[in-house]
Copies of this chain bind each other. A is one copy, B any other.
Amino acid sequence: SMVNAVYKNAKRGGKTNFTVGIEDDLSNSSLKIDEFINAAPAGTIRCKFWGLGSDGTVGANKNSIKIIGDHTNKFVQGYFAYDSKKSGGVTISHLRFGNEPIKSSYLIDQADFVACSTPSYLFRYDMVSDIREGGTFLINSIWSPEEIGAQLPAKVKNIIASKKLKFYTIDANAIAAKLGLGGRTNTILQASFFYLSQVIPYADAESYMKKAAEKSYKKKGDAIVKMNFDAIDNATQQLFEVKYPEDWATATEGAAMQVPFGSDYFNSTINPILEQQGDKLPVSAFTPDGVVPTGTTQYEKRGIAVKVPVWVKENCIQCNKCSAVCPHAVIRPTLASEEELKNAPASFETKDAIGVKVKGLKYRMQVSPFDCTGCGSCAQVCPAKEKALLMKPIAEVVAAEAKNFEYSATLPETKAEYFDTNTIKGSQYKKPLFEYSGACAGCGETPYVKLVTQLFGDRMIIANATGCSSIYGGSAPTCPYTKNDKGHGPAWANSLFEDNAEFGFGIHLAYKARRAAIETKITALKAAFERADYAEGVAAADAWLVGKDDTDASIAASASLISILEGCKDCGCDLDTLEQDIYKDKDCLVKKSIWIFGGDGWAYDIGYGGVDHVLASGEDVNILVLDTEVYSNTGGQASKSTPTGSIAKFAAAGKRVKKKDLGMMAMSYGYVYVAQVALGSNDAQVLKALKEAEAYKGPSLVIAYATCINHGVNMTGAMAEMKKAVDCGYWNLYRYNPSLLENNENPFTLDSKDPTGDFGEFLQGETRYSALKKQYPAVAESLYEKCKTDSEIRLASYKAKAAK
């Protein structure tokens, strides 16, 4: 048999690169382009599969290609088109099977079979127009064949009926949930495809699928293999044909297509790309310097969650922990007066806010169901006796909650002034200036990023290393960084993997130089004001000169100074040139908060030379390392952060050398602020570390432990997993604050307690470790033991530092 597959991979930064996989036919072809286009031989079956990036659709389709290629004499071909979300993005697999060589080198536009694993796509994408007359359309949905008619947009019904499509539904999520497969519906939909398409006899297909599942999943354990076998067995039993009435052809009623809302930029540029029409945009739609507006993920409303949290107000203790851990900033506390709430929808229930200062205000925890990815982290961390958040099928709550969320956005932005940000509770009243990113459901990194923006976002500039954080932080066409109601928010840019620390350092030096220049000018301005006996002006200039390096003082002084400058055109003091000169650089009046973000692949490995150089410089920049202990974005290669015994690419038989102690190396300078944190273990310590790091007038390094899908854990429990890591001594929390040296205090504080958890149990709870025992039983135990010893030695070294 021959396999003829070309993978279209547009994942990285949204560029349409072609990565050629196995291409027996195309590469040697002497056909001209016209012949190519028309070369699809008769009898070829063309299939399109719409899915979420994280639901395994693409993997299943690649498996299908292999099954057909290996077990029939058919020719097969696949193109795979991705968007650039870390997960939850759209994937479309274009598959062709036929008895003649396939020479079609373009995406499928007349399909025999279309399947969709994501119910909400019905309201976002036109999936039926390019199915040929009499073709098959399969949709994964919670609706029964009887219910579905009422749920479909009229236009979809028109096309289904007029083209006489065969139409099927399957509630794959229900099956998957029942079998313990969580959101992974790929095997179920693959089975449905083989069942409906009959491209090979289904009994044969069933056994091939099982063999493939065994091969794919045996590393992950027998239980997982069995679940997939069960999925194959159960798929067809839950597959129903929809016998629709003929009058669907002329239906005018039905669910609305989701009409996105937004700015001109959204309508002209973002939305066409989201609708998979980006290739049709002219070059002129983009700015030459690549600058794009921020705050545009809010318009996506992807609606990819299967279940979303619903607030149970009676149980809520108003701790805001759910908000703090949410990877996508979709659950937020609101505080409002009864007066402000007078136009609230009926379902916008509230309760009395707890706290002396907020007496009389009303409190509510509000979810944005269309932005939620359904990870369940919020409900998992809820510490109330009875959970104050329950995960419910989105269909049940979306109508009311979407409206509630829309309403909550009209309320005054925050009531942050009632709480300081020294507590997690207080910090969550500040608007996240990072929201609705394309990160994976349950991502362990994004809560840190979000928290940093809540604390410093309004005067923050971020240099972002390549990696997950640059993909979820800046994937065209939308930007998750956003602004507060004053229009202030982070400026963000991504340079290269190997130079991000230097990139951020350069940004810092540029501001430093610009602020030094403006200082000279404001000193001159103050003198001129003095000569002119303009006391208010003198005071404003002086306040800036005195307070320019203090965050709060510089914010206040900058505001007064800008108002003086704006008003001073009429004061007759004849300083026009100087004032205009200062005014045009007013963006650098407020003290900036310079941040350098990246993962461990960057900070421990590829960008470490720069990280070290920038830390050594003594300059006031802040580095946040999102440490997943593996190259997450590129699919799990070992980094120097990967601990002994962990399985990763390039360390398939378990990493043999221990995790690099990046923090210890940075502490050797003595003048670098260093902290290790883990949000799921001690959120107050995270907050303290971030605030100390930012306040320290020198280089800072915060190393944040982040649970990741690459660890092989249920991401709903990401926060609990972090806690386990700290409890068993796998990860330690500490802060090294050089400021304490000024008072002759020990700069090092060990914040985590002596380990009480079971180290071995923790390792066995993560597939990256537990899989080693299956594949390399001979070495597994000794590597686990070494991993533990490494941790003990590391902890001992921290204790020694703490004891000094």
| Shortest Cβ distance from A662 into B: residue | B668
| C-alpha spacing A657/B614, complex, angstroms | 12
| Shortest Cβ distance from A665 into B: residue | B665
A640 at interface (Cβ–Cβ under 8 A)? yes
**A612 CB contacts on chain B under 8 angstroms:** 608-609, 612, 640, 660
**A242 CB contacts on chain B under 8 angstroms:** none
**A793 CB contacts on chain B under 8 angstroms:** 670
**A617 CB contacts on chain B under 8 angstroms:** 657
Take A668-B664, A668-B665 as given contacts and tell me if A657 and B609 are in contact as well, using a CB distance cutoff of 8 Å.
no
Instruction: Determine if A640 and B664 form an interchain contact, defined as CB atoms under 8 angstroms apart.
Output: no
| C-alpha spacing A420/B601, complex, angstroms | 46
- Which residues, 609 to 625 on A, are CB-close (under 8 Å) to B? 609-610, 612-613, 616-618
| Shortest Cβ distance from A790 into B: residue | B670
| A258 CB → nearest B CB, Å | 47
Cβ contact of A609, chosen from B608, B658, B670, cutoff 8 A: B608
**What's the tally of chain A residues with a CB closer than 8 Å to chain B?**
26
A605 at interface (Cβ–Cβ under 8 A)? yes
| A116 CB → nearest B CB, Å | 45
- Which residues, 570 to 614 on A, are CB-close (under 8 Å) to B? 605-610, 612-613
Take A658-B669, A658-B670, A661-B668 as given contacts and tell me if A640 and B618 are in contact as well, using a CB distance cutoff of 8 Å.
no
Instruction: Determine if A640 and B656 form an interchain contact, defined as CB atoms under 8 angstroms apart.
Output: no
A731 at interface (Cβ–Cβ under 8 A)? no
A671 at interface (Cβ–Cβ under 8 A)? yes
| C-alpha spacing A617/B605, complex, angstroms | 11
| C-alpha spacing A497/B335, complex, angstroms | 58
**A658 CB contacts on chain B under 8 angstroms:** 669-671
A188-215 interface bits toward B, Cβ cutoff 8 Å, 1 = contact, 0 = none: 0000000000000000000000000000
| C-alpha spacing A520/B665, complex, angstroms | 41
**A664 CB contacts on chain B under 8 angstroms:** 668
A514-543 interface bits toward B, Cβ cutoff 8 Å, 1 = contact, 0 = none: 000000000000000000000000000000
**A656 CB contacts on chain B under 8 angstroms:** 618
Instruction: Determine if A660 and B608 form an interchain contact, defined as CB atoms under 8 angstroms apart.
Output: no
Instruction: Determine if B661 and A640 form an interchain contact, defined as CB atoms under 8 angstroms apart.
Output: no
| C-alpha spacing A617/B638, complex, angstroms | 12
Instruction: Determine if A616 and B661 form an interchain contact, defined as CB atoms under 8 angstroms apart.
Output: no
Instruction: Determine if B668 and A616 form an interchain contact, defined as CB atoms under 8 angstroms apart.
Output: no
| A798 CB → nearest B CB, Å | 12
| C-alpha spacing A657/B660, complex, angstroms | 25
Instruction: Determine if B608 and A657 form an interchain contact, defined as CB atoms under 8 angstroms apart.
Output: no
| C-alpha spacing A658/B698, complex, angstroms | 14
Instruction: Determine if A660 and B616 form an interchain contact, defined as CB atoms under 8 angstroms apart.
Output: yes
- Which residues, 672 to 718 on A, are CB-close (under 8 Å) to B? none
| C-alpha spacing A435/B613, complex, angstroms | 35
Instruction: Determine if B618 and A657 form an interchain contact, defined as CB atoms under 8 angstroms apart.
Output: yes
Take A608-B609, A609-B608, A609-B609 as given contacts and tell me if A640 and B616 are in contact as well, using a CB distance cutoff of 8 Å.
yes
**A660 CB contacts on chain B under 8 angstroms:** 612, 616, 668-669
| C-alpha spacing A618/B800, complex, angstroms | 25
**A605 CB contacts on chain B under 8 angstroms:** 609, 613
| C-alpha spacing A200/B804, complex, angstroms | 70
Of A607, A656, A658, most buried by chain B (CB within 10 Å of CB) is A658
Instruction: Determine if B669 and A616 form an interchain contact, defined as CB atoms under 8 angstroms apart.
Output: no
**A610 CB contacts on chain B under 8 angstroms:** 609
Cβ contact of A657, chosen from B606, B607, B665, B671, cutoff 8 A: B671
**A669 CB contacts on chain B under 8 angstroms:** 657-658, 660-661
- Which residues, 764 to 804 on A, are CB-close (under 8 Å) to B? 793, 800, 804
| A602 CB → nearest B CB, Å | 11
| A465 CB → nearest B CB, Å | 13
| Shortest Cβ distance from A617 into B: residue | B657
| C-alpha spacing A78/B657, complex, angstroms | 58
**A607 CB contacts on chain B under 8 angstroms:** 609
| Shortest Cβ distance from A609 into B: residue | B609
Instruction: Determine if A616 and B657 form an interchain contact, defined as CB atoms under 8 angstroms apart.
Output: yes
| C-alpha spacing A293/B665, complex, angstroms | 42
| C-alpha spacing A657/B620, complex, angstroms | 13
| C-alpha spacing A312/B289, complex, angstroms | 75
| C-alpha spacing A605/B611, complex, angstroms | 11
| A191 CB → nearest B CB, Å | 45
| C-alpha spacing A616/B655, complex, angstroms | 12
| Shortest Cβ distance from A607 into B: residue | B609
Of A617, A660, A804, most buried by chain B (CB within 10 Å of CB) is A660
| A110 CB → nearest B CB, Å | 51
| C-alpha spacing A699/B670, complex, angstroms | 26
| C-alpha spacing A661/B664, complex, angstroms | 12
| A387 CB → nearest B CB, Å | 43
| C-alpha spacing A606/B609, complex, angstroms | 7
**A665 CB contacts on chain B under 8 angstroms:** 665, 668
| Shortest Cβ distance from A606 into B: residue | B609
| C-alpha spacing A461/B113, complex, angstroms | 62
- Which residues, 631 to 677 on A, are CB-close (under 8 Å) to B? 640, 656-658, 660-661, 664-665, 668-671
| C-alpha spacing A668/B790, complex, angstroms | 11
**A609 CB contacts on chain B under 8 angstroms:** 605-610, 612
| C-alpha spacing A664/B793, complex, angstroms | 16
| C-alpha spacing A671/B658, complex, angstroms | 9
**A606 CB contacts on chain B under 8 angstroms:** 609
- Which residues, 223 to 255 on A, are CB-close (under 8 Å) to B? none
| C-alpha spacing A608/B502, complex, angstroms | 14
**A657 CB contacts on chain B under 8 angstroms:** 616-618, 669, 671
**A670 CB contacts on chain B under 8 angstroms:** 658, 793
Of A605, A657, A664, most buried by chain B (CB within 10 Å of CB) is A657
| A252 CB → nearest B CB, Å | 65
**A613 CB contacts on chain B under 8 angstroms:** 605, 608, 640
Q: A residues within 8 Å of B by Cβ? A: 605-610, 612-613, 616-618, 640, 656-658, 660-661, 664-665, 668-671, 793, 800, 804
- Known contacts A618-B656, A665-B668, A800-B800, then 18 further A-B pairs from the complex at CB < 8 Å, ordered by chain A residue: A605-B609, A606-B609, A608-B608, A609-B609, A609-B612, A612-B612, A612-B640, A616-B657, A616-B660, A617-B657, A657-B669, A657-B671, A660-B668, A660-B669, A661-B668, A661-B669, A665-B665, A668-B668
Cross-chain pairs A/B with CB under 8 angstroms, 17 sampled? A605-B613, A608-B608, A609-B610, A612-B612, A612-B640, A616-B640, A616-B657, A616-B660, A658-B669, A658-B670, A658-B671, A660-B668, A661-B668, A665-B665, A668-B668, A800-B800, A800-B804
A-B complex: 9 closest residue pairs judged by Cβ atoms: A609-B609, A618-B657, A665-B665, A664-B668, A661-B668, A608-B609, A616-B640, A665-B668, A616-B660
